Amino acid sequence: MKLEEYAPGEIEKRSFAIIEEELGRELDPVQKPIIKRVIHTTADFSYADTLFFSEGAVEEGLNALRSGVSIVTDTNMGKAGINKKKLGQLGGSVHCFMADEDVAEKASRLGITRAAVSMEKAAEMQEDFIFAIGNAPTALIRLYELIKEGRIHPRLIIGVPVGFVNVAEAKELILTAGVPVIVARGRKGGSNVAAAICNALLYQL
């Protein structure tokens, strides 16, 4: 076994160099830090092909974070993974409503997912948000509907749920919502990917 010797902190730098080398092609400079961090988080180079950025999405996300906009996510894993210290320095925080009692009650009463109800709860707060959706396609579908009804105006939607049922379709739907989006097309994604994209934005500020 060959273990390389690195000081803590150097490993990430070396990892990013390996990723860049193995990618073997130039990425869009605005998208590059995000694509590289997602590959760093997953060791999966297919994200270089599946990550889709709507025109100006990265800039809009950076502007929003810079002005203290908070992030709404659909899992407590995503919340745990987002760098809350950095976000807090900018004036933002992370919300996850999935475990809230009112959300559970309403979801059960209406026979819909807690993720969909969480998006409604965010809409009712009438606040600017970035959405980081790593798990529930129903969150994206409800967001699409709320946008079309004029009830919510997301500054950026990071749409990267993972899964086999309605996931790829929900991601294609949110692409047509007319708001800034960063989406991992297809089945792959996850809370870790959602957090990685948030952090890739945060680390540029």
Q: Choosing from 15, 27, 40, 104, which is the catalytic residue? A: 40
Buried/exposed code over 71-81 (b: 16+ C-beta within 10 A; e: otherwise) = bbbbbebbbeb
Closer to a second copy by Cβ: residue 67 or 108 = 108
CA 16, CA 9: separation in Å to the nearest integer? 12
7 binds a second copy (CB under 8 A): yes
What is the SS3 assignment for 101-116? HHHHHHHHHHCCCHHH
Residue among 28, 49, 76, 151 that touches a second copy (CB under 8 A): 76
Kindly give, in sequence order, each residue whose CB lies less than 8 Å from that of residue 128, ignoring residues fewer than 6 positions away: 64, 69, 70, 153, 155
Q: Looking only at residues 81 through 120 of this chain, which bind a second copy when binding is defined by CB under 8 A?
A: 81, 107, 111-114
Which of the 8 DSSP states describes residue 28?
P
Closer to a second copy by Cβ: residue 141 or 147 = 141
11 binds a second copy (CB under 8 A): yes
Closer to a second copy by Cβ: residue 42 or 93 = 42
192 binds a second copy (CB under 8 A): yes
CA 94, CA 78: separation in Å to the nearest integer? 9
172 binds a second copy (CB under 8 A): yes
Residue 182 CB, nearest approach to a second copy (Å): 18
Q: How many residues sit close enough to a second copy to count as binding (CB under 8 A)?
A: 48
User: How close are the terminal C-alpha atoms of the chain, in Å?
Assistant: 39
Residue among 31, 42, 63, 93 that touches a second copy (CB under 8 A): 42
> What are the residues facing 157 on neighbouring strands?
131, 181
Closer to a second copy by Cβ: residue 128 or 172 = 172
DSSP string, 161-196: ---SSSHHHHHHHHHTSSS-EEEE-SS---HHHHHH
In degrees, rounded to 5, the angle at the alpha carbon of residue 193 between the alpha carbons of residues 188 and 199 is 160
Site stretch for a second copy (CB under 8 A), options 36-44, 57-65, 87-95, 121-129: 36-44
Which three-class secondary structure state does DSSP give residue 25? coil
Is 95 one of the catalytic residues?
Answer: no
Which residues are known to be catalytic? 40
Residues that bind a second copy (CB under 8 A): 1-4, 6-8, 11, 14-15, 18-19, 40-44, 75-77, 79-81, 107, 111-114, 138, 141, 162-167, 169-170, 172-173, 186-192, 195
